[in-house]
Structure 1
C-alpha cells in the first residue's frame, strides 16, 4: 500500500460508529468509464448513512482513458494496486513482431464481433481475457483485500462489475471469511446482447463463473427491473436475492429546463460511445427523408456525436447520408472531459440515445440527460428504456430498424410540452445518487448487522 493509502486508512480507522465496507471495483475515478461514476457516486454518500467505504481498485495506469474532472470522493480511502497483465505482454510481442517485415500479423486491436487473425488468435485472446482482461488483478487484489480485512473491521464487501474480476475477488473473500457480500451487476454477464462472439468453451466457463457468483452473493443489485427479471428466470433458486438499483446522477441540476429552443440552430446531441449493436444509419436515413420533405433544414440543424465511435457504424451512416455529412449537419467529435460534456448538455436542444436491440437495459447517460429537463429521443427497441421514458415523460423512442418511425418520432420530439422546474426536480431527486445510496446503505446494514 502507498503512504497516501495508509494515511487515508488511518484517518478512516478513527471514525467511530461507522460500518466499514470494502468496495472492489476496477472502474473508479479518475477512470473515464461510465461505471466509475456509479461506484464513486455510491462512495460519495455512504458516509451520510453511517457507512465508511474503503475502495480497492487498480492503479491509474491500467485505465484506458483518464478524466481528472471527475474527482475521487472526499474522505474515502482508496487502495490502488498493480498487477501483471499477460494480454498486454501479448500485444507488446505483436508490436515487436510487426517490426519484422518477414512476419505477417493482423493489426493490434481488441477483436470485434467477427474475430480477425484466424482460429488460433481467437482462442488465445479468449483465454487471455477470461473472464476479462483484468484477470491478472485477481491475486494482487486478494492480497491487498486480506491485508485490509486483517487490519480494518470490514463489515461487508461491495463489488461492482464489469469487469467481472471484481466479483471473483469478492467471491473468494466471501468463501474464506464469510463476510456479507453485495454484488453490483451493471450489465448482464453471459446474456448481454452486445457481448462479442466467444468460443463455446469460454461461454461455458463464463456461465459457470456467473452462476457461482450469483449463488455465493448475499444480495445482487441489478441496474434495471428487466435485468433483475432476466436473472430471476435464469437462476430461479437465487431469485429472492435480486434487487433493482438503477444508475443515477450526481451534483445539482446545473442546467435549466427548456422553455423554448435556444437558438436558430437546433442542436441534437449524443454524448458517449457508439459501439456494439448500436446503429445510426436508419436515423441518418430518416434525416435525409425529412430534409427532402422540407420538414427540417440542414442549415439550421446540427446533429453532434461526441465520444469514441465504431468506424463501421459511422461508415454505414455516411453511406446513406453523404450530403448531410458534407455540409456538417451531422458531425463527430472525440471524447471530451466530463465537465465539458456537461456544458454541451446545457447547449443542446434534444438529447439522443442509441441503444439498438438491447431491450434489457437503460444506458447510464439517460440519467444524466434526465436531470436537464430536455427532451430525450431514444432509438431503441421496446424494453426497459422505452418504459422509463414513458413513466418519466422525458421523451420518445423509435424502432431502430424503421426510418419511417424514426422520422415520425423526430417531429414528435420537437413538439414535446414544456417541463416545469418542479417536475424536473421531482424526477431528478428519484435518481440522485444520494437517494440511491440511501437504499444501498439500508441493504448493507441488513446484511452486516445481525
Structure 2
C-alpha cells in the first residue's frame, strides 16, 4: 500500500481461537486475507469465553501481528455448573431443550429464555461497550463488522457505531428469530417481542447486512425490507494445495462435525444396514467414520450389523481435516430437518467440495445446499424419507469403488475460496468508506 494510512476494520466476534468449530473459521479466514485487499483487521473478542470446542491449530492462520482487543464477560454457564455440579464447559445448546429433567434445569431454561436476550452471551454487552469506548477514543477505525451468533455482538456494534459514527456491517451466520430452536424456547410474549424489536433494529440500522445463503438472504430481507448481501462460507485453498492423498482402500463414508438433533436421519443407517445384510462384499469393505461430537442416542441406535463398521473420533484439529476428507470414498452431509432447512449451507459443505470426493446429502432436494451440490455435479441430495434413492446411490458409489472408477469432480470452485470471499467482503467495506474529511471522527 502507499504511505497513506491503511484502512482499518474492527471485527467483533465472540468466537476466536482457541475456540474451535465451524463458527470461528469465518472470522479467522476473513482476518487471514483482508490485508491482501487493503484492510487491516483489528479483532475484538471475549477474554474468558465458554467454548464447546477448542482448536489451537486455527491460530496458524492468524497473522502474528494482528491486534486483538478483549473484554471480560459474565457467563451464566458458570452459575449453571455451580448449581448442577457440571465440571466441564457447557454447550450453549443445553439451554435450548425444554425437556431437561429437574426443577433447577427447567427453571434455568425459563431464565435463559426470558432474561438472557438476545442470548446467553448478554453478560458481555456492558464490559464490551466500556472497553470499546475507551479503545475508539484512542484509535480510529474505518468500519466495524459484527458476526453472530451470538447476536449480542450486534448490540455491541450498534452502540459503538452510532457513538463514533463508524460504518457497520452486520454478519448473520445464522438467523435470529428464524433459527430452528427459537420456537422451542419458553418465551413469554414480552420476551418474543423484544427479540423481534432487537432483530429489526439490527437489520435496519446496520449500514450493510450480510448472510451466508440465498434462503437466509430472503428471510432477512422479508423482515427488514432492505437489501441483504450473501457471502457464503468457503474453503481455504491453501489447505488443499498439497499433493492429494490416495483414496482409502476400504469403502469409507466420513462425516465431519457435530451430529445430532435435527441432523439425526435414521434412513442413513437403515440404508447401510440393508445393504450390509444383503451384500457381504459391501459389509466387509464398509467403514463409517464419524469425526466430532455425536449424540449418544445416535450411537446407541446404530444397527447391530453396522456396529463393527462404525468408529467415532470426538474431535480432530482442523489442520488434519483436508486429508481425511480427500481420502474418503464418500462424504456424508446431513441437513437439519426443520422449518428453515432449505437455507442451510454448512461450512463443511465447502471443504467437502474442495476435497473433490462424492457427497451424499440428506435434506431438502431444492434447498441451497442441494442446489450447490447439483450445480457442481458433486454428488446427490436425497429427501429425508427417500430410502430407495439413498440405497441406490450407495450401491452406485460402491460399484464405482469396486471398479476403481475415479470420481470426476468439478473444478468450478473459485467462487467459494476464502480468498475470493474476502475480496467480496472488502468490496462491500469499500462502499461504506467515509470521506477523507470525516476520517477517524470520534467524540471529544
Residue matched to 1:4: none
Secondary structure of 1:66's match? coil
The equivalent position to 2:332 in structure 1, one of 346, 352, 360, is: 352
2:139 corresponds to 1:139: no
Q: Which digits, 9 at most, give the CA deviation of each residue in 1:280-316, with x for residues without a partner?
A: 321000111122332862211101111101223333x
Residue matched to 1:329: 309
Residue matched to 1:227: 216
2:231 corresponds to 1:245: yes
Q: Is contact 2:247–2:326 with CA below 8 Å preserved after alignment?
A: no
- Call closer, same or farther: CA 1:15–1:351 in 2, change over 3 Å: farther
Residue matched to 2:101: 116
Q: Is contact 2:277–2:283 with CA below 8 Å preserved after alignment?
A: no
- Cα distance in 1 for residues equivalent to 2:425 and 2:355: 25
- Call closer, same or farther: CA 1:396–1:176 in 2, change over 3 Å: same
- Cα distance in 2 for residues equivalent to 1:322 and 1:15: 68
Secondary structure of 1:397's match? strand
Q: Is contact 1:257–1:419 with CA below 8 Å preserved after alignment?
A: no
2:194 corresponds to 1:210: no
Residue matched to 2:440: none
Q: Which moved more, 1:183-192 or 1:67-76?
A: 67-76
> What's the offset of the Cα at 1:24?
0.2
2:15 corresponds to 1:36: no
Normalised TM-score (structure 2)? 0.86
Residue matched to 2:147: 160
Q: Is contact 1:20–1:53 with CA below 8 Å preserved after alignment?
A: yes
> What's the offset of the Cα at 1:363?
0.5
CA RMSD of aligned residues (A): 2.5
> What's the offset of the Cα at 1:145?
1.5
Residue matched to 2:442: none
Normalised TM-score (structure 1)? 0.85
> What's the offset of the Cα at 1:16?
4.3
Residue matched to 1:52: 40
> What's the offset of the Cα at 1:192?
1.7
Q: Which digits, 9 at most, give the CA deviation of each residue in 1:260-291, with x for residues without a partner?
A: 8541x111100100133111321000111122
Q: Is contact 1:24–1:166 with CA below 8 Å preserved after alignment?
A: yes
- Cα distance in 1 for residues equivalent to 2:205 and 2:33: 27
Q: Following superposition of structure 1 onto structure 2, how do residues 343-382 of structure 1 map, counting pairs within 5 Å?
A: 343-357=323-337, 358-382=341-365
Q: Which digits, 9 at most, give the CA deviation of each residue in 1:358-392, with x for residues without a partner?
A: 21111000111111111111111220110010111
2:275 corresponds to 1:290: yes
Q: Which digits, 9 at most, give the CA deviation of each residue in 1:329-369, with x for residues without a partner?
A: 12222111112333322331211111132211110001111
Q: Is contact 1:31–1:66 with CA below 8 Å preserved after alignment?
A: yes
> What's the offset of the Cα at 1:58?
1.0
Secondary structure of 2:117's match? coil
Residue matched to 1:393: 377
- Cα distance in 2 for residues equivalent to 1:61 and 1:165: 13
Residue matched to 1:148: 135
- Structure 1, unpaired ranges of 5+: 1-13, 97-107
- Cα distance in 2 for residues equivalent to 1:136 and 1:121: 16
- Call closer, same or farther: CA 1:134–1:345 in 2, change over 3 Å: same
Q: Is contact 2:47–2:70 with CA below 8 Å preserved after alignment?
A: yes
The equivalent position to 2:161 in structure 1, one of 174, 189, 197, is: 174
> What's the offset of the Cα at 1:150?
1.2
- Cα distance in 1 for residues equivalent to 2:281 and 2:3: 60
Q: Following superposition of structure 1 onto structure 2, how do residues 429-440 of structure 1 map, counting pairs within 5 Å?
A: 429-440=414-425
Q: Is contact 1:114–1:197 with CA below 8 Å preserved after alignment?
A: no
Aligned length: 413
> What's the offset of the Cα at 1:60?
5.4
> What's the offset of the Cα at 1:419?
5.3
Q: Is contact 2:253–2:332 with CA below 8 Å preserved after alignment?
A: yes
> What's the offset of the Cα at 1:15?
8.1
Secondary structure of 2:166's match? coil
The equivalent position to 1:92 in structure 2, one of 69, 82, 98, is: 82
